[in-house]
Amino acid sequence: MKVLTCYSSEDIRIEDRPVPDIGDDEVLLKTVYCGLCGTDIVKIANPGVKKPVPLGHEVVGLVEKTGANVEKFKNDDFLAVSHHIPCFDCVYCDHLNFSMCRHFRNTNIYPQGFSEYIRLSAEHIKYNAFLIEDEKYLKNAVFMEPAACCLRAVGRLNIKNGDSILVIGCGTIGIIFISLLRFLFRVRIAAVDIDDCKLSTAERFGAELIANPEIQDTVSSIKSFSDTGFDAAILTYTSQGTVSTAMEAIRAGGIILVFAGPSGEWKISVDFESLYKNEVMLLSSYSASPQSCSKSFELLKDGKIDYTPIISGVFPVEDFREGLEMALSQKYFKIIYYFDGQFK
């Protein structure tokens, strides 16, 4: 079978490996689509990440074979799957910090998402695999895992109808946040980005105010959106500039959510006096949970929320580099790949 292998940022190749064997409680999945995630790009580009490294986890596949004990799915079922599973029994799981669970971090689909065939464990089948009944939503289901990450984050913000929300960074994740917020709540959303095309997309997905800090005074513009300041600010791009913007825009008692790690700026200054006296909460959210994956899938499986308009490219896995270069340019949205030409 074909497996994408990254030996360095310049050496990414397709290798031929044996198809995985499966046990009685497992499923062999034939990959239909796999999305390119920002974490994949970091693994590729960061020389500090030991190579080769597993790539790909936003998977839609076709059941090729089931183990003798598997009853939940059958051959030729289409599934959306996610990769990490918590133990549900440690201190982290008890406090809903699932992504900190050691078992969560050690579990993954085998060998990876960018593989022609994938072995799903019994745990994956139980918690992180979902039946797609209508084939026209296969591409939309690729967004199940990233949307689940955003759903988990939204659940930590204590959002109420009528709130004003600031989304900083309007790439794929920013658009997912905006659409989820509009679908789940009656809120007002302002969006900030340095790319006018991304801002236009944010507007189409529900942002009422858009601002480009390279051509306007962003803080003055977004402050006019709310008399008291924003109830929550979501950082999908974290830098000194975006943190400072969020701090200026947030109301007293508001929440700033860090959804993405800092982009090369490992030390970012925060005015802790202001943070303290204004009771501003600064929190982060990393990855999804089985619960948020399930909820995400329910929203995507029949197009209640449709993310296919932000698919910027669909490539055969052999053209991985072309899609990667598009993603690295930061001018595009989601890139997805296929292994079988019938799903082009």
Looking at the structure, do residues 180 and 226 belong to the same domain, yes or no? yes
> d(Cα 208, Cα 210) in Å, to the nearest integer?
7
Would you state the pLDDT for residue 37? 96
Looking at the structure, do residues 277 and 295 belong to the same domain, yes or no? no
Q: Give the pair of three-digit tokens for residue 92.
A: 């982290």
CATH number at residue 301: 3.90.180.10
Enclosing domain of residue 26: 2-148+288-343
Tally Cβ neighbours within 10 Å of residue 280: 22
Looking at the structure, do residues 22 and 134 belong to the same domain, yes or no? yes
CA separation, residue 66 to residues 28, 44, 79, 121, 122 (Å): 6, 33, 13, 11, 11
Looking at the structure, do residues 24 and 57 belong to the same domain, yes or no? yes
Looking at the structure, do residues 194 and 256 belong to the same domain, yes or no? yes
Q: Give the residue from 45, 119, 134, 46 showing the smallest Cα distance to 83.
A: 119
Say whether pLDDT at 130 is over 70. Answer: yes
Q: Give the pair of three-digit tokens for residue 108.
A: 């993954």
CA separation, residue 263 to residues 2, 50, 136 (Å): 32, 19, 36
Strand locations in the chain (E): 2-8, 11-16, 27-35, 58-66, 78-81, 117-120, 129-132, 164-168, 188-192, 209-211, 230-235, 250-258, 281-284, 311-316, 334-338
Looking at the structure, do residues 39 and 127 belong to the same domain, yes or no? yes
Q: Structural domain tally of the chain?
A: 2
Global confidence as pTM: 0.96
Q: Compute the mean pLDDT over every residue in the chain, rounded to the nearest whole number.
A: 95
> d(Cα 118, Cα 145) in Å, to the nearest integer?
17
Q: Tell which of 267, 284, 301 closes a domain.
A: 284
Task: Estimate to the nearest angstrom the gap between the alpha carbon of 337 and the chain centroid.
Answer: 16
pLDDT confidence tier of residue 12, bands split at 50, 70 and 90:
very high
Say whether pLDDT at 344 is over 80. Answer: no
Looking at the structure, do residues 177 and 254 belong to the same domain, yes or no? yes
Say whether pLDDT at 146 is over 70. Answer: yes
CATH number at residue 179: 3.40.50.720
Say whether pLDDT at 222 is over 90. Answer: no
Q: Tell which of 284, 299, 317 closes a domain.
A: 284
Q: Please tell me what DSSP assigns to residue 308.
A: G
Looking at the structure, do residues 170 and 253 belong to the same domain, yes or no? yes
Question: What is the full DSSP assignment across 29-42?
Answer: EEEEEEEPPHHHHH
Looking at the structure, do residues 127 and 161 belong to the same domain, yes or no? no
Q: Tell which of 265, 284, 303 closes a domain.
A: 284
Question: Which amino acid appears at position 221 of this protein?
Answer: S
Question: What is the rounded average pLDDT of the residues 313-325?
Answer: 97
Looking at the structure, do residues 244 and 274 belong to the same domain, yes or no? yes
Would you state the pLDDT for residue 34? 98
Looking at the structure, do residues 95 and 206 belong to the same domain, yes or no? no
User: Which tens digit of pLDDT belongs to each residue from 274-313?
Assistant: 999 999 999 999 999 999 999 999 999 999 999 999 999 9
Looking at the structure, do residues 95 and 110 belong to the same domain, yes or no? yes
Nearest 10 degrees: Cα torsion 204, 207, 208, 214: -100
> d(Cα 45, Cα 53) in Å, to the nearest integer?
12
